[in-house]
Amino acid sequence: MLSGKTVVVAVTASISLYRIPDLVRELRREGARVIVGMSQEASRLISPTIFNWASENPVVTEISGNIEHISLFIGHARDTSLLICPASYNSIGKVSNGISDDIPSLFFSFAMGNGNPIDICPAMHEGMMINPINQENLEKLKGLGVGIIPPRMLEQKAKISENDLAVDYVCRSLGGRPLRGKRILIIGGRGEEKIDPVRSISNSGSGLTFSWFGINAFRLGADRIVMIGNTDFRIPDYADYRKCIKIEDFEAEVSKVLSKEKFDMVINCASLPDFKVSNRSDTKLPGSRRILLELEPRHKLLETVRRHHSGTLIAFKLDHEMGADEIRKKLEASSPDAIVYNVIDGVSSPFGEVRNHYRIITPRETIDLGSLPKPQMTLKVLLSFASGGKE
């Protein structure tokens, strides 16, 4: 998401700055050009050479005749953002009160006036973090449109956030317009149909797609993200996560959420059982004899969603190769606006793979996305329906 973008990372004096070279590399992996600026105190704690190696760009440690605090930002408001990380108590106090006497605060003073997106990642002792003056300063910055990346409260310290959360906020700052103001419900992960109290029928779904839909919805600016299901991967703190594994829990939680809230978009990428066990046992079945299970078709969760939800509905379908009309027919009862179709090829497992071949089937057309990694696929799907229609 950061290809063609520049992120200026302003580093203040905090012991946690030892983690920032890794963050610089994470931003670059997302496609960003990264330039680091350091306060004099920060440069005494860690060598600027390390940041030069991490960013592969010169490090700003003093303002020269090139007026770096202006030249890095001017004319690039949509493509250049400022990330102050770590942001100490002192630096937050400075920038929130118009003091500009070091590299980070100089960068802030111009970027704020130039309209560049700004994010701040606090790092300090807990007592300083919850200090009413600091909280007032943070609220003031929030009111000015500055993104405050939540710290991790551990060991009586407000430690800087994990790198992936900081990257999410930077992506949102630079690319969070398509879903701004939108409310997104994502249903995903694997489902279990109980056989007895300890055994169930399930599949190998890992929830990787589920995880990336949540991440990319935030990066694209969604105001509210509710995630119902489960995953082996990251569930970000900014999502309202309702863990479900049993199919009955999926049904109950989806009905509960949709009866109370309205969403602009619902995405169902869950791998749920198509059958229910009609002879389910209330006691543990013996393992010493043959057991015959009776399976009957189960009510589709997607139809429950459609009964409650009139907005954009995106469904996923995993099946053997078949035509678009046949796929549409299979899901016509829920009338999805789009079906993301993934073919079972008989060679590799469709679950847990980072890359698969996808097609988007709408009521009028089929769009071949080709072979894509799941992070990129989820991003394309969200962008395609961000306006509530098809782009």
Q: Is the pLDDT of residue 44 over 80?
A: yes
| Residue 384, strand partner residues | none
Residue 15 burial (10 A CB sphere; 0-12, 13-18, 19+): exposed
- Among candidate residues 357, 362, 359, the one with its CA nearest the CA of residue 385: 362
Split at pLDDT 50, 70, 90, the class of 273 is confident
Q: Which of 100-104, 154-158, 249-253 has the lowest mean pLDDT?
A: 154-158
| Interval 119-134: pLDDT, tens | 999 999 999 999 999 9
> Where does 205-353 have alpha helices with state H?
208-219, 247-260, 301-308, 324-330
Q: Which of 23-32, 83-92, 152-161, 229-238 has the lowest mean pLDDT?
A: 152-161
The per-residue pLDDT for 70 is 80
What mean pLDDT do residues 9-23 have?
91
What mean pLDDT do residues 108-117 have?
93
Q: Is the pLDDT of residue 305 over 80?
A: yes
Task: Identify the CATH class of 183-384.
Answer: alpha beta
Task: Identify the CATH class of 6-175.
Answer: alpha beta
281 versus 319: which is more confidently predicted? 281
The per-residue pLDDT for 350 is 55
118, 146 contact by CB (below 8 A): yes
Split at pLDDT 50, 70, 90, the class of 345 is low
CA distance 270 to 237: 20
Q: Is the pLDDT of residue 347 over 60?
A: no
Phi-psi region of 178 (alpha: psi -120 to 50; beta: other; left: phi over 0): alpha
| Interval 161-186: pLDDT, tens | 889 999 999 999 999 899 999 999 99
The per-residue pLDDT for 352 is 54
Rounded mean pLDDT of the chain? 90
Question: Can you give the residue ranges of every domain in the chain?
Answer: 6-175, 183-384
| Interval 219-259: pLDDT, tens | 999 999 999 999 999 998 999 999 999 999 999 999 999 99
357 versus 118: which is more confidently predicted? 118
Q: Is the pLDDT of residue 88 over 50?
A: yes
In whole angstroms, how far apart are CA 136 and each of 92, 117, 133?
Answer: 10, 21, 5
The per-residue pLDDT for 390 is 43
The per-residue pLDDT for 389 is 47
Split at pLDDT 50, 70, 90, the class of 204 is confident
pTM for the whole thing? 0.91
What mean pLDDT do residues 91-105 have?
94
CA distance 286 to 304: 35
Percentage with pLDDT > 70 across the chain = 96
Q: Do domains 6-175 and 183-384 have the same CATH topology?
A: yes
What mean pLDDT do residues 207-216 have?
96
Tell me the two tokens of residue 158: 């407000």
Phi, psi of 168 (to 5 degrees): -60, -45
Q: Is the pLDDT of residue 332 over 90?
A: no
190 versus 387: which is more confidently predicted? 190
The per-residue pLDDT for 342 is 86
CA distance 69 to 109: 8
| Residue 108, strand partner residues | none
What mean pLDDT do residues 53-63 have?
91
What mean pLDDT do residues 106-113 have?
93
With residues binned 3-state (H G I as helix, E B as strand, rest as coil), the percentages for the chain, rounded to 5, are 35, 25, 40
